[in-house]
């Protein structure tokens, strides 16, 4: 979950590396470092903290036109300068940055130590630098004696070192003796090469490259790349050649600045109306009373043949899956289930070849979800992606799917991506339901109501109601209970997750009907209970749950449909515009996003970079 950036070309490398790290900081912000080739020596700077702390340690006139850099989210080893990347070999002539996990770390470390290597850090990543050096300098012992023709060869030294590793990696390696190249490799952790005019870039996320180029090559698992100023050459780790597949990045991936907003999270909350329009535009077709997702490439006959739908995600993506599964099963009458990706593939799942699975992920790089995709394919199942990032690992692994078109989401806490994931799953629901159970009148009404949602989101955000009163309710709470029924149960879970992520307030989310089977024991005088209760077919059931909470002294915050008299039961009532009950999650989630943002602000939290979290979880 770390960020990697690299550069080789004609310009000073350090400013490009630092700007790339700033754009990648959402991937990790425990520490940061860079290495630049300066007069035949590696100039290395590392600092605990943010990229800004590193930038202050780098001379403004730092020479060098080749370098690599890294921003870290700690896995192995504490947050210390010694554990920050880049890591050097004993000679100080080889530098490595690494994202991923070396699973056989203990055995390799023990063996290297027995051969005389002295480690400077606690990390698994340092092992890679020492392994490369053993081959490059001809230091490997015993059965690993290095052939003479391998010594001094940077590419083959990296290739040999990687053959010893078990685990995942995205790495970049530079050699003081070779000012004309950077060696990169990927296995389970994303890397993107950017192609410029007389310069070449490397990053773990294409977003870091858009200030410099939109022509990119996405490395595949098991590939090794040699970057030079004139371009890139790629091979398989076994040496087999690979043809370059150059992609052009979409225009909206250049829009990654805060603008007039104090935080990315607030900006992205307010971008939801336009993001939703981008997601549904050209796909929802009221005239035909249906939707069309061309990326799925499913004929009506194939849609009718689907026996079951599985939706797989983690965190916010999983909550979007819960909404999608409910809509699919109730409207299309196809059994549907949301699955937590980190559990799915370890359950030895039974995969029906007539089922259809969706892997849902904003980044398209979530390791647990990618693992589930591979398990489904291994067992003969069909799986498609619902992702935001074009060319991401899940998108490429699935081959078919839906891009949600949220544009870049820089805050760690996801907001607009949740809404667009839900919207994309609604589009599939309509397409599937029209092929099976839904008549044209109902289909047209669904399509027209979905088209109205972006304007309703805009309307709510222009007048969000008494969010500050809701914030005051939760600031000193020992625990906040979120309740909802049906579709609103998933919204309750998402609201609780946001408040925990951004404000660090302990929260529990439960289906409202289950509250009396355990969580009711937490209620005491003044306990905040946030209830999502739009005007839907479960509203009266939810009213009873509210009364149960009030009878035990809880303070009730109610997210409800404007004009509904259920607001009389609340201490704080926040209305949202009226819509079809199917689309209420796209509106009722908005006050909860604002609550998390404002509560985090009031508590002095780091809104866009919450502690211990990273945006793209690329390790298991």
**Radius of gyration of the CA atoms of the chain, in A:** 26
Whether cis (ω within 30° of 0) applies to the bond prior to 86 is: yes
Question: Roughly what angle, to the nearest 10 degrees, separates helices 440-462 and 585-602?
Answer: 20
| Residue 114: other Cβ atoms inside 10 A | 9
CA atoms within 13 A on the CB side of 18: 20
Cβ atoms of 169 and 188 within 8 Å: the answer is yes
CA atoms within 13 A on the CB side of 518: 6
Query: So which residues are the catalytic ones?
Result: 2, 615
Cβ atoms of 298 and 439 within 8 Å: the answer is no
Three-class SS state of 24 = helix
Residue 188: DSSP 8-state: B
Cβ atoms of 368 and 620 within 8 Å: the answer is yes
Angstrom distance (rounded) from CA 30 to CA 48: 6
DSSP H helix total and E strand total for the chain: 18, 26
Kindly report the backbone phi and psi dihedral angles of residue 264, in degrees, each rounded to the nearest multiple of 5, phi listed first. Answer: -60, -40
Q: Nearest to residue 97, comparing CAs of 234, 202, 22, 250?
A: 202
CA angle 11, 12, 16 (to 5 degrees): 90
Which residue bears the tokens 């509904």? 564
Question: Roughly what angle, to the nearest 10 degrees, separates helices 154-162 and 125-136?
Answer: 130
Q: Nearest to residue 167, comparing CAs of 106, 226, 121, 218?
A: 106
């Amino acid at each position: 979950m770390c960020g990697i950036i690299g550069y080789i070309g004609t310009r000073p490398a350090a400013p490009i590396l630092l700007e790339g790290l700033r754009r990648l900081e959402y991937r990790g912000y425990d520490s940061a470092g860079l290495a630049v080739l300066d007069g035949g020596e590696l100039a290395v700077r590392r600092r605990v903290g943010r990229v800004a702390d590193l930038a202050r340690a780098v001379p403004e006139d730092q020479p060098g036109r080749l370098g690599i850099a890294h921003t870290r989210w700690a896995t192995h080893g504490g947050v210390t300068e010694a554990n920050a990347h880049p890591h050097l070999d004993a000679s100080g002539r080889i530098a490595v940055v690494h994202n991923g996990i070396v699973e056989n770390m203990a055995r390799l470390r023990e063996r290297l130590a027995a051969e005389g290597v002295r480690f400077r850090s606690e990390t698994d990543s340092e092992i890679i630098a020492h392994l490369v050096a053993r081959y490059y300098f001809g230091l490997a012992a015993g059965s690993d004696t290095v052939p003479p023709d391998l010594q001094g060869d940077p590419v083959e030294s990296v290739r040999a070192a990687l053959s010893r590793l078990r685990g995942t990696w995205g790495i970049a390696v530079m050699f003081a003796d070779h000012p004309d190249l950077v060696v990169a490799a990927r296995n389970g952790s994303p890397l993107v090469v950017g192609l410029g005019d007389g310069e070449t870039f490397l990053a773990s996320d294409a977003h870091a490259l858009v200030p410099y180029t939109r022509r990119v090559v996405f490395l595949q698992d098991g590939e090794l790349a040699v970057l030079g100023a004139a371009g890139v050459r790629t091979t398989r780790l076994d040496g087999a050649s690979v043809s370059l597949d150059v992609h052009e990045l979409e225009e909206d991936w250049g829009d990654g600045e805060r603008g007039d907003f104090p935080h990315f999270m607030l900006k992205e909350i307010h971008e939801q109306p336009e993001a939703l329009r981008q997601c549904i535009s050209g796909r929802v077709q009221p005239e035909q009373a249906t939707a069309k997702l061309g990326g799925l490439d499913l004929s009506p006959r194939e849609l009718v043949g689907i026996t079951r739908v599985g939706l797989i995600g983690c965190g916010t993506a999983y909550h979007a899956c819960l909404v999608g599964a409910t809509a699919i099963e109730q409207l299309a009458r196809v059994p549907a289930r949301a699955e937590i990706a980190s559990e799915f593939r370890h359950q030895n799942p039974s995969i029906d070849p007539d089922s259809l699975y969706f892997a849902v992920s904003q980044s398209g790089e979530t390791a647990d979800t990618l693992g589930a995709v591979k398990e489904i394919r291994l067992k003969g199942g069909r799986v498609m992606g619902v992702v935001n990032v074009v060319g991401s690992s899940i998108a490429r692994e699935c081959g078919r799917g839906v891009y949600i078109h949220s544009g870049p989401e820089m805050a760690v806490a996801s907001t607009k991506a949740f809404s667009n994931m839900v919207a994309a799953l609604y589009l599939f629901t309509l397409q599937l339901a029209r092929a099976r159970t839904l008549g044209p009148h109902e289909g047209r009404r669904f399509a027209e109501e979905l088209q109205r949602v972006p304007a309703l989101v805009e309307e709510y955000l222009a007048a969000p109601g008494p969010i500050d009163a809701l914030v005051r309710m939760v600031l000193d709470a020992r625990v906040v209970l979120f309740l909802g029924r049906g579709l609103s149960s998933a919204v309750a879970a998402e609201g609780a997750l946001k408040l925990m992520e951004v404000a660090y307030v302990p929260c529990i989310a439960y289906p409202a009907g289950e509250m009396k089977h355990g969580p009711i024991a937490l209620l005491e005088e003044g306990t905040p209970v946030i209830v999502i209760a739009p005007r839907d077919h479960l509203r009266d059931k939810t009213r009873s749950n509210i009364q149960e909470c009030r009878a035990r002294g809880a303070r009730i915050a109610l997210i409800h449909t404007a004009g509904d008299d259920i607001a009389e039961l609340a201490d704080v009532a926040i209305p949202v515009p009226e819509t079809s009950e199917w689309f209420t999650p796209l509106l009722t989630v908005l006050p909860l996003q604002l609550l998390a943002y404002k509560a985090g602000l009031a508590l002095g939290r780091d809104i866009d970079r919450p502690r211990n979290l990273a945006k793209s979880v690329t390790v298991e």
